[in-house]
Amino acid sequence: MRELFQEAAGQPPPDPRESARASARTALRKRFYKEVGVADVEGGFGITLDGKPIRAPSGRQVVIPARALADAVAAEWDAQGEAIDPVTMPLTRIANSVVEGVVDRVALVSDDLAKYFETDLLFYRAGHPKGLVAREAAHWDPVLFWAAEALGAHFILSEGIMHVKQPDEALRAARAALPGDPWSVAALHVVTTLTGSALLALALAHGVRDAIQVWAAAHVDEDWNTDQWGVDEEAAARRATRLRDFDAAVAVLTAVNAPAAKGP
């Protein structure tokens, strides 16, 4: 495990894009196991390879709180061919990040996530053309209205990229709405880094926007440019990689917050 997933212990969950790039720079390890299983362990479920539990680089066993999520992580290991490619294992990477960098530091990681509220994507609007202005408003305004009405977080918008300082009251209100469990925090951290918006991540966590709406809202400007100039194949490939990591984070958030995962 140490050779496969080298996220630094004690750090916030890494940007999946950088994890993928780092993995691509190292030689892939050959598959060393035949059977993958899921076992009941204290606090949840563990993944076993030929009967032995998988562990994070620190030596901690990876314990997953929801059976559906554990099955999905096990499926990633089972799907590996002759070599193990961490790029194709986004759920495993998130699980490893939780065990190594979030479980003991939930508040610190939440604070790191909350910093995105200061410069959120949704605050900085195009001044023209009218079509793009309208499209940004359609995707972004409902989230801002929800934050103001439901959370009491009233943010200031800006045209262009000039930085605008957000009210401390709004930042505190948004921070207070973040979940408190390590798995949800880790998943939202991934969503935030991929979308550039902690507000979109927060709206996803609270069920105000679904995954499709959040992904579309995060790419309003990019999709506008594609409509005008056509598809950039390299950009499309990068986006597909990011979408895989985004979908994994959404799967984590969904699984750990499902009624069955919360227990009686």
Between the two ends of the chain, the Cα-to-Cα distance in Å is: 34
Choose which CATH entry (3.40.1260.10, 3.30.830.10, 3.90.25.10, 1.10.3580.10) describes domain 107-262: 1.10.3580.10
Fold of 16-103: ATP12-like (3.30.2180)
pTM over 0.85: yes
Domain definitions of the chain by residue range: 16-103, 107-262
Q: Is the pLDDT of residue 203 over 50?
A: yes
CA angle 178, 182, 186 (to 5 degrees): 75
pLDDT digit string, tens, across residues 72-96: 999 999 999 999 999 999 999 999 9
Q: Give the residue from 237, 215, 233 showing the smallest Cα distance to 20.
A: 237
Instruction: Please tell me the distance from the alpha carbon of residue 68 to that of residue 252, in angstroms, as a whole number.
Output: 9
pLDDT digit string, tens, across residues 93-123: 999 999 999 999 999 999 999 999 999 999 9
Mean pLDDT value across residues 15-34? 68
